[in-house]
Chains A and B, each alone.
Chain A
Amino acid sequence: MVDSKKIGVAGAAVALVTILTIFGTSYMSDFDTARTSTTDDGVKTLELKQAPVLGSEAATVTIIEVGDYQCHMCKLWFEETRPQIIENYINTGKANLIFIDMPFLGSDSIPASEATYCANDQGKYWEYHSMLFTYQEDEIDGGWASATRLQAFAFNLGLDIEQFDKCMTTDDHYARVNYNKQVAVTEFGANSTPTFMIVNTLSGESQRVVGAHPYSTFEEVINSLI
């Protein structure tokens, strides 16, 4: 009887230690990657030239966001930090923003990313991007980004639904989304969302920011790169 109690306590303790170890190693490996990625070359910015750009293409600083439309922390960043960056850096022409898809959280993530490029075909990438984060719901694959809802978002933005549907059913942009995911993981070393690469497009100097950091972090990093 006593032995079973001891085994139970030992098992629970081992579980706790294992969880803490996993937490620790996951985050420490993240820091290692972050350190090795801070000195970038021009290749990464070259890859991103086909991506829709928010802001002036001539801006000195490019903020590359790696995200998943079902990621809650991406939504938090979208709502809390992004508006201040847009106001102070993008609208003033100092920086621009690029979004790289890393759809990994659920099966609806890939169609959601594809839908943004179908909207881009009709010139409404950023409007669709914003709509997805605005209407994101808590439950991953809970239906908020189902085919019907994606079509409804397109309808609300006044897109040509026939063209949008054709784009979605024929998976026109599947390869692009998949490529972006590979770039996010292999080129940027992203293993979580949101991950940001802030690059001075003239010097190639860059800084990686992992997580939904507050505006102060971006302000400091961008100012150091301008």
Chain B
Amino acid sequence: MNNIFGLVYSNPSYILIAIVIFLLLFIPLIIISEFLFFEPFFVFSIYPETTLSFSLIVTLSSLSSLAVSMNIYRVKLIKETKKIGSSIVGTVIGASAGACSCGPIAFSVITTFGTAGSIASSFLTIYEIPIRLASIGILGIVIFVTMKSLTRECRVKF
């Protein structure tokens, strides 16, 4: 398995892709979850109650960056796109959770869709942690399957 990581990330462009994907997810998610503020000045804070939520965001962003970058490598190698789709689905599910709470997104959704928006917002808020855990599970499976697949493909190639 370590060989697969070494194989993929020996190319600096995949490290760069992983970092970019991590930041593209991590920064919006910590803004939405109110860990990072830009107004009235730059503030980063974690309350004890929100430590778990922050840890899940870090995990989700890290796994997404690994899953997508490894699958881009895989697509280039064997021209198959199935697992990259699964990793994006996992990422979307994780990013959607906790997007509502009391923030401007919830306000927009509720004022636009009324009661239905309120129910959707409430659902995403209540099940924020389980939804993020589910998406982490999906991404974990995607990474595992991708690594197995790359091990097999590389054996065939070499």
CB-CB < 8 A to A214: which residues of B?
43, 45, 47
Interface SS of chain A: helix, strand, loop or mixed? helix
B 31-50 contacts with A by CB, 8 A:
31-32, 34, 37-41, 43, 45, 47, 49-50
Q: Does A22 contact B (CB under 8 A)?
A: yes
CB-CB < 8 A to A193: which residues of B?
102
> B120: shortest Cβ distance to chain A, in Å?
11
Chain B, residues 35-72, CB within 8 Å of chain A (1/0): the string is: 00111110101010110000000000000000000000
Give how many B residues have a beta carbon under 8 Å from the other chain's beta carbons: 42
B40's partner among A13, A15, A104, A221 (CB-CB below 8 A) is A221
Q: Does A209 contact B (CB under 8 A)?
A: yes
With A140-B126, A207-B40, A210-B39 already in contact, the answer to whether A22 and B92 are too (CB < 8 A) is no
Greatest chain B CB density within 10 A among A68, A191, A207, A211 is at: A211
Cβ A12 vs Cβ B88 within 8 A: yes
Q: Does A162 contact B (CB under 8 A)?
A: no
Q: Does A51 contact B (CB under 8 A)?
A: no
Cβ B28 vs Cβ A74 within 8 A: no
A 58-101 contacts with B by CB, 8 A:
68, 71-74, 76, 79-80
> B44: shortest Cβ distance to chain A, in Å?
9
B81's partner among A9, A35, A210 (CB-CB below 8 A) is A9
Interface SS of chain B: helix, strand, loop or mixed? helix
Greatest chain A CB density within 10 A among B101, B110, B115 is at: B101
Q: Does A8 contact B (CB under 8 A)?
A: yes
CB-CB < 8 A to B85: which residues of A?
5, 8-9, 12
Q: Does B146 contact A (CB under 8 A)?
A: no
CA distance A8 to B96 in the complex (A): 18
With A23-B105, A140-B118, A216-B43 already in contact, the answer to whether A16 and B81 are too (CB < 8 A) is no
> B81: shortest Cβ distance to chain A, in Å?
5
CB-CB < 8 A to B31: which residues of A?
23, 27
A140's partner among B37, B91, B125 (CB-CB below 8 A) is B125
CA distance A5 to B41 in the complex (A): 45
B28's partner among A24, A79, A104, A140 (CB-CB below 8 A) is A24
Which residues from chain A sit less than 8 Å from chain B, CB to CB?
5-6, 8-9, 12-13, 15-16, 19-20, 22-24, 26-27, 29-31, 34-35, 68, 71-74, 76, 79-80, 104-107, 138-141, 191-194, 207-214, 216-217, 220-221
